[in-house]
């Protein structure tokens, strides 16, 4: 069992920024990275709107810079996932990872959100065989092929633009006649010679042959007309759901699963803070997640500062409280 002053669960912009702040404040900090350093942003090819990069940057570069900056101040990184937490007995909090156990004086939860699936026949069966939720990861496999992108928000349009680097043609299929995405992105897709728009249309089934995506069944929601269209790549960008299942009923959640926080970024448990997409369903930007991570870290630093005299030394043996 290890002791920590600050345990950060998740390593997207929120978690990495929090780590820069808590480690620089001389608080012993471990970041439990989870499956993917950087979270969603690391699968985003072009990042054009993160301040201080006049020519843009890439998600992986942004994340690696943040990680290196946190490490420079002494933050430790554990490339495992959290499997269990116990916030019920107050600080210090028990956190179990794949191969380790921690008692942490404070926890900052930054495990973000996961891509939504369409839940239609043929989708799950063809994940990694034509169906994808990550253009940066899988776009390369569809060089010179027909690509379909499902969704009408910023993610769908931005990733469709990225996929034009690979595909012969990219068709955006959206269930309404209006996009939700920003006007700037709408202009870019409408003017793009490789992008076709299929509005008022939903996909009823992903069709495959020999285990590989070959096409889909489409339906116009206004006329009811149905037809089949060949496609090789089927990319779904229809929003995200928060990764809050791990906390069960230990943290107060909104009806849609997002973690509830106060103005100090503290959750319903004193000493447990949250930042980024685990609580934010609205802004969902790398820069807002970073800002959140900073605020949660400052609150954790303050929380520890107010209790400094009561905290156990980090090398003291851990005494587990009775269950």
Q: How far is CA 224 from CA 33, 95, 150, 198, 229, in A?
A: 46, 51, 18, 14, 16
Whether residue 134 lies in the annotated active site: yes
Q: Is 175 in the site for ligand NAP (CB under 6 A)?
A: yes
- In the complex, the smallest distance separating the C-beta of residue 92 from ligand NAP, rounded to whole angstroms, is 35
Ranked by CB distance to ligand NAP, the top (closest) residue is: 153
Nearest-angstrom CA–CA distance, 154 and 158: 6
* Least separation in angstroms between CB 58 and ligand NAP: 13
Q: How far is the CB of 62 from ligand NAP (least distance, A)?
A: 13
Q: If DSSP codes are grouped into helix, strand and coil, which group holds residue 45?
A: coil
Question: By CB under 6 A, how many residues form the interface with ligand NAP?
Answer: 20
The Cα angle at residue 233 between residues 55 and 242, in degrees rounded to 5: 70
Which 50-89 residues touch ligand NAP, going by CB under 6 A? none
| Integer CA distances (angstroms), 262 to 182, 238, 270, in order | 29, 28, 11
Q: Which of residues 205-264 bind ligand NAP (CB under 6 A)?
A: 237-240
- Taking the CA of residue 193 as centre, how many other CA atoms within 13 Å lie in the half-sphere pointing to its CB? 2
Rounded distance, CA 17 to CA 90, Å?
A: 25
**Which CB atom, from 29 or from 243, has the smaller least distance to ligand NAP?**
243
Site string for ligand NAP, 99-118 (x = CB under 6 A): -------------------x
Q: Which of 172, 222, 181 is nearest to 200 (CA)?
A: 222
In this chain, which of 123, 146, 154, 232 binds ligand NAP, going by CB under 6 A? 154
- Binding segment for ligand NAP (CB under 6 A), chosen from 68-76, 89-97, 174-182, 300-308, is 174-182
CB 152 within 8 A of CB 177: no
- Could you confirm whether 138 is annotated as catalytic? yes
List residues binding ligand NAP (CB under 6 A).
Answer: 49, 118, 150-156, 158, 175-176, 180, 202, 237-240, 284-285
User: Catalytic positions, please?
Assistant: 134, 137-138
């Amino acid at each position: 069992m290890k002791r920590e002053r600050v345990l950060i669960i998740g390593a997207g912009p929120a978690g990495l920024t929090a780590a820069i702040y808590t480690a620089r404040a001389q608080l012993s900090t471990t970041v439990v990275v989870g499956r993917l350093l950087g979270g969603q942003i690391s699968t985003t090819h072009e990042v054009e709107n993160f301040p201080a990069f006049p020519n843009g940057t890439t998600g992986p570069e942004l994340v690696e810079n943040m990680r290196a900056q946190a490490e420079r101040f002494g933050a430790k990184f554990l490339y495992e996932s959290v499997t269990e937490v116990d916030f019920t007995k107050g600080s210090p909090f028990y956190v179990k990872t794949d191969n380790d156990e921690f008692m942490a004086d404070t926890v900052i939860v930054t495990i973000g959100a996961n891509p939504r699936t369409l839940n239609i026949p043929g989708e799950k069966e063809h994940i990694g065989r034509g169906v994808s939720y990550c253009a940066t990861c899988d776009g390369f496999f569809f060089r010179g092929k027909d690509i379909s992108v499902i969704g009408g928000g910023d993610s769908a349009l931005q990733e469709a633009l990225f996929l034009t680097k690979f595909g012969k043609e990219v068709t955006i299929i959206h269930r309404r006649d209006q996009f939700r995405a920003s006007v700037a992105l709408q202009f870019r897709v409408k003017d793009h010679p490789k992008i076709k728009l299929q509005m008022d249309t939903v996909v009823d089934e992903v069709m495959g042959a020999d285990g590989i995506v070959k096409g889909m069944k489409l339906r116009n929601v206004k006329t009811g007309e149905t037809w089949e269209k060949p496609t090789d790549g089927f990319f779904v960008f229809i929003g995200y759901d928060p990764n809050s299942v791990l906390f069960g009923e230990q943290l107060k959640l909104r009806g849609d699963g997002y973690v509830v926080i106060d103005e100090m970024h503290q959750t319903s448990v004193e000493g447990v803070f949250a930042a980024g997409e685990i609580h934010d369903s609205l802004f969902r930007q790398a820069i807002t997640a970073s800002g959140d991570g900073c605020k949660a870290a400052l609150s954790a630093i303050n929380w520890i500062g107010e209790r400094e005299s009561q905290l156990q030394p980090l090398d003291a043996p851990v005494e587990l409280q009775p269950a």
